[in-house]
């Protein structure tokens, strides 16, 4: 912990008190949560980001879209618009945010909408479309909506039990908030995580008997997309200018370096809006490379914001993979929702 964060500890105590009172008022019914007639699945975290919400939402879409009419609702972080928008082919990341645009472009069978007021967003979706299930993206703290299933994500190397509330730590609320979760997923685990280590983590999380705990890892697509389509098995000994504007790019950087590549990592803040000057600097860095084996690479989420600005840009898709298989997970999701039973 840095000295500055340590000095901010009194503010963490105040922040903790405010969020605890807020949660208590919702628990006691002084603040109202709205329920809906269709199942609502909320995916989120206690920390401020980087736990893998986007691939987890995509995982849910993949396992549900063939049997149910799915809608994904997000607030559309850092978009330049307000209010409810149902995505169509004309929208850009500036209109709706990068993650909703990614969902829309990847999955043709679903509806994707943005609204900072989630209650209004769900009501609008119900008015406009016949929907079986709504997936709420990054909505664990959005208690104005009462979800049927809360899925809480926490990173393998940064468990919420080891963290503090803001600003000393990175938690949006006290770790006691984990008790609201029906399902807890430890994300970004090593693919060979032992059962013994999994049990150790379960004990550390202190999940209740009614909570289901799962472990997942990151899986990368078998080839790059965008400007260059390079098989992942051939992406070896390249010079890579890696451009990221996500909360936690470390797994991707480690993956590329482990394959023997020389990685020049240009790291920006999560959901960063790139200026023309920054793009010129990025291109200068890339064109200066003399190797025949070079690639300008980014994440899929960043590609949503940059594809119309950098023609030579490629990206690498990622997905989530459960260490213990998906059948137990989907059975757990169904057990907490009505229409999916």
Give the tens place of pLDDT for each residue, 268-295: 999 998 999 999 999 999 999 999 999 9
> What SS3 class is residue 279?
helix
240-260: average pLDDT: 95
Element (H, E) at 262: strand 262-267
Number of domains the chain contains: 2
pLDDT over threshold 80, residue 2: no
For the stretch 194-217, pLDDT in tens is 999 999 999 999 999 999 999 999
What is the overall mean pLDDT for the chain?
Answer: 94
Backbone angles phi, psi at 298, to 5 degrees: -145, 180
Strands of the sheet with 239-244, listed across from one edge: 225-226, 313-316, 294-299, 239-244, 262-267
Domain membership of residue 259 (yes or no) is yes
What's the pLDDT score for residue 241?
98
Query: Quick one: which of 59, 54, 36 has its CA closest to 44?
Result: 54
The reply to whether 149 and 203 lie within a common domain is yes
176-198: average pLDDT: 97
Beta bridge partners, 226, equal 314
Provide the CATH number for the domain around residue 154.
Answer: 3.40.50
What's the pLDDT score for residue 336?
87
Q: Kind of pairing, strands 318-322 and 239-244?
A: unpaired
Query: Quick one: which of 251, 295, 243 has its CA closest to 269?
Result: 243
SS3 content of the chain, % helix, strand, coil (to 5): 35, 25, 40
| Per-residue H/E/C for 187-217 | ECCCCCCCHHHHHHHHHHHCCCCCCEEEEEE
The reply to whether 277 and 296 lie within a common domain is yes
In whole angstroms, give the CA distance from residue 246 to residue 267: 8
Query: Quick one: which of 113, 123, 124, 110 has its CA closest to 70?
Result: 110
In whole angstroms, give the CA distance from residue 253 to residue 244: 10
The reply to whether 140 and 191 lie within a common domain is yes
Domain membership of residue 78 (yes or no) is no
What's the pLDDT score for residue 22?
97
The reply to whether 227 and 328 lie within a common domain is no
Element (H, E) at 220: strand 212-220
- What's the token pair of residue 264? 């020049």
| % residues pLDDT > 90 (the chain) | 91
What's the pLDDT score for residue 231?
97
The reply to whether 257 and 157 lie within a common domain is no
pLDDT over threshold 70, residue 1: no
pLDDT over threshold 70, residue 341: no
CB 72 within 8 A of CB 135: yes
Owner of token pair 């200066």? 288
The reply to whether 155 and 215 lie within a common domain is yes
The reply to whether 48 and 159 lie within a common domain is yes
Gyration radius of the chain over CA positions: 21
- What's the token pair of residue 105? 């472009």
What's the pLDDT score for residue 339?
61
The reply to whether 210 and 330 lie within a common domain is yes
Owner of token pair 């482990």? 258
pLDDT over threshold 90, residue 305: yes
What's the pLDDT score for residue 5?
80
Supply the DSSP string of 56-75, one letter for each residue.
HHHHHHHHHTTTS-EEEEE-
The reply to whether 59 and 157 lie within a common domain is yes
pLDDT over threshold 80, residue 130: yes
For the stretch 17-62, pLDDT in tens is 999 999 999 999 999 999 999 999 999 999 998 899 999 999 999 9
- Sign of the four-CA dihedral 159, 329, 77, 223: positive
Domain containing 36: what range?
3-68+132-219+321-335
């Amino acid at each position: 912990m840095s000295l500055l964060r340590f000095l901010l500890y009194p503010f963490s105590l105040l922040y903790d008190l405010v969020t605890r009172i807020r949660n208590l008022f919702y628990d006691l019914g002084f603040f109202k949560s709205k329920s809906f007639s269709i199942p609502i699945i909320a995916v989120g975290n206690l920390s401020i980001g980087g736990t893998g919400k986007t691939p987890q939402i995509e995982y849910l879409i993949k396992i549900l879209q063939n049997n149910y009419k799915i809608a994904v609702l997000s607030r559309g972080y850092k978009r330049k618009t307000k209010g409810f928008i149902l995505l169509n082919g004309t929208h850009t990341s500036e209109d709706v945010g990068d993650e909703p645009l990614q969902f829309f472009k990847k999955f043709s069978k679903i509806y994707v909408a943005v609204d900072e007021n989630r209650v209004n967003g769900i009501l609008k979706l119900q008015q406009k479309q016949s929907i079986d299930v709504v997936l709420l993206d990054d909505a664990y703290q959005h208690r104005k909506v009462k979800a049927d299933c809360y899925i809480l994500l926490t990173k393998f190397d940064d468990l919420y039990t080891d963290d503090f509330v803001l600003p000393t730590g990175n938690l949006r609320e006290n770790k006691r908030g984990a008790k609201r979760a029906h399902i807890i997923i430890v994300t970004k685990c090593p693919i060979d995580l032992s059962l013994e280590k999994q049990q150790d983590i379960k004990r550390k999380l202190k999940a209740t008997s009614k909570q289901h705990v799962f472990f997942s890892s990151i899986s990368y697509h078998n080839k790059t997309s965008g400007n260059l389509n390079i098989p992942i098995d051939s992406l070896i000994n390249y010079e890579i200018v890696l451009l990221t504007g996500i909360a936690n790019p470390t797994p991707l950087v480690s993956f590329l370096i482990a394959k023997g590549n020389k990685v020049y990592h240009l790291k920006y803040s999560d959901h960063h809006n790139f200026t023309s000057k920054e793009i010129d600097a990025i291109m200068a860095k890339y064109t200066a490379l003399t190797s025949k084996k070079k690639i300008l690479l980014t994440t899929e989420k960043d590609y949503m914001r940059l594809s119309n600005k950098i023609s030579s840009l490629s990206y690498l898709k990622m997905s989530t993979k459960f260490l213990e298989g998906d059948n137990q997970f989907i059975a757990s999701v169904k057990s907490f929702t009505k229409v999916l039973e």
